[in-house]
Amino acid sequence: MKFQSRDNSGALFRADNEKTDRSPDYTGTITIGGRDFRLSVWLKTSEKGKYMSLAATPKADSFCSL
């Protein structure tokens, strides 16, 4: 069954097929204001402790022309 997100929600899944050291640790999608975004998350460590770095990219099919 395909995951269907509701508005202002999403899901992340562990990326099992990391290709390089720069590949995200988790990937998924989120829907905000009716637009779909791809999420990428990297697990990192700094002097203050562990944290997650993330990036959201609009999915090409979520754009509408005016």
Render pLDDT for 11-66 as a digit per residue (tens, 0 to 9).
999 998 878 888 999 999 999 998 999 999 999 999 999 999 999 999 986 555 44
pTM attached to this predicted model? 0.77
pLDDT at 20: 87
pLDDT at 1: 56
In this structure, the chain runs to a length of 66
| Residue-wise pLDDT tens digits, 3-21 | 566 899 999 999 988 788 8
> Do 19 and 36 contact (CB within 8 A), yes or no?
no
Q: Cα(40)–Cα(43) distance, rounded to whole angstroms?
A: 10
